Structure 1
């Protein structure tokens, strides 16, 4: 079936998802819709003493990105809005693909990692994080008491 399209996507993409698209059954951000899977793509690299994360955040500004460590979970949050000048332009949009809003991603890094241990740098739309490896707390082994008889 031929559907009208503009810029290589069907104008009815979001409407036609049900029930054919597996993504229908996964949680989607209402803000980013079906394209939410393309937000915050992450590469995780393991070195001898750390984990290096590279998170794609194109179009975001450094001041709109936060990294929070709580209970062993590192949460990266990024938000952006459209420029105020965009609203003042004449004419009407026939297609708008840029969004404003917030996205977040959480990683478990362990209870032994502190805020001071994590190093972050943002350049060229990529957030680079270095999270040191910490020794996991030793799991208490069962110790049996010998019973004399």
Structure 2
């Protein structure tokens, strides 16, 4: 822990103007394990809406179909996926690896409730395709004022 300690020299710090003096310390705090998870990418979405349904495409490459879960509660949709680490370990000749393991999820709210009984999901070539029909009669109702 002592390798992060720096002697405090007030006059030296005042004499040399360095606007990015403490940026390295700030960035080191973000790289601490468990505080900032930039190694797990977010699930990216495309959402198209028609009068009858929502068509959603979610990029989830490298995940098995059985490791993806979709939950629908009214107009809230949660997509979660778990990428599992291979049991085979080839670390001897690996110079660099950017693969990540773990869970990722994406939650969002749609403008209208979804008819979850008629919803469909397909997973092909790393893309999850959801067809979520709108619940009948769930549109906006305008109230007449008398």
Is 1:91–2:75 an aligned residue pair?
no
TM-score of the superposition, structure 2-length normalised?
0.64
Q: How many residues align?
A: 117
- What per-residue deviation string (whole Å, max 9, x for no partner) do you get for residues 11-58 of structure 1? xxxx96957xxxx7xxxxx5983354x431111112342111110011
TM-score of the superposition, structure 1-length normalised?
0.63
Bigger Rg, structure 1 or 2 = 2
The residue that corresponds to 1:53 in the other structure is 56
Q: 1:70 aligns with which of 73, 79, 99?
A: 73
- In the TM superposition, structure 1's runs of 4+ consecutive aligned residues that sit over 4 Å from their partners are 15-19
Query: Is there any run of 5+ residues in structure 2 with no aligned partner, and where?
Result: 1-22
Query: Is there any run of 5+ residues in structure 1 with no aligned partner, and where?
Result: 1-14, 25-29, 145-149
Aligned residues of 1:32 and 1:99 also touching (Cα < 8 A):
no
Aligned residues of 2:63 and 2:126 also touching (Cα < 8 A):
yes
- What per-residue deviation string (whole Å, max 9, x for no partner) do you get for residues 96-149 of structure 1? 31111101111213674232121111111000001123432525x3755xxxxx
Aligned residues of 1:45 and 1:53 also touching (Cα < 8 A):
yes
In structure 2, the residue corresponding to 1:77 is in which secondary structure?
strand
Structure 1's 109 and 142: CA in aligned 2 closer, same or farther, altered over 3 A?
same
Aligned residues of 2:121 and 2:129 also touching (Cα < 8 A):
yes
RMSD of equivalent CA atoms: 3.1
The residue that corresponds to 2:37 in the other structure is 33
The residue that corresponds to 1:127 in the other structure is 128
In structure 1, the residue corresponding to 2:38 is in which secondary structure?
helix
The residue that corresponds to 1:27 in the other structure is none
Aligned residues of 2:116 and 2:132 also touching (Cα < 8 A):
no
In the alignment, the residues of structure 1 paired with residue 60 and residue 51 of structure 2 have an alpha-carbon distance, to the nearest angstrom, of: 26
In structure 1, the residue corresponding to 2:54 is in which secondary structure?
strand
